[in-house]
Amino acid sequence: MDERLIRQIQREGAEALLNMGVSLPLKDFKIPFRKEPLRLRLTMRRPTMACQIQIAKTWLSVGMTLSEFEALDYDGQMRFLVEHGRKLSRMIALTMPHWWLPTCVLAWFIRHSMKWEYQKGAFEKFVTLMGTAPFTNIIRSAEIVNPMKLRLSHRKKGS
């Protein structure tokens, strides 16, 4: 592996562990008498369980796998954008802490201010990180401790 790729993987792992999130550029504002524009950024963070459920429900309503999404050509991307652009911006908005702003308003702002390349990259990055692997241990331990499960000495009689 390339040294640069290894460092990138390590940095992404550290960011995930520290829950720093991924900062996305939203909008650039030109200010008079200033060389660089003022850049408004939003940070995607690990969402809560309720937001993960909403994201999963929205993604399942799209009816496409991540590999199919990544394999789309330009025309396919444009068709996807027309059909599912609102859902995509909603899923991105659900990953950003927004206690002060309703999700629909933040999704609208993302749709109208963020470049498509950033939206697509954020979406691909988030969907690859989201999964059920962290919950398998919880499910396994709940299954072991289940008080309704028959114990070894009660298998014959069921009492």
Residue 6 belongs to a domain: no
Query: How far apart (Å, rounded) are the C-alpha atoms in residues 159 and 151?
Result: 9
pLDDT band at 68 (very low <50, low <70, confident <90, very high): confident
Q: What three-state secondary structure class fits 64?
A: coil
Check residues 89 and 26 and name the one with the higher pLDDT: 89
pLDDT at 143: 58
Contact 143, 134 (CB under 8 A): no
Residue 37 belongs to a domain: no
Residue 71 belongs to a domain: yes
Cα distances (Å, whole numbers) of residue 60 to 53, 57, 90, 136: 11, 5, 13, 20
pLDDT band at 41 (very low <50, low <70, confident <90, very high): confident
Query: How far apart (Å, rounded) are the C-alpha atoms in residues 52 and 56?
Result: 6
Number of domains in the chain: 1
Q: Does the pTM exceed 0.75?
A: no
Q: Write out the residue range of the structural domain in which residue 96 sits.
A: 48-130
pLDDT band at 158 (very low <50, low <70, confident <90, very high): low
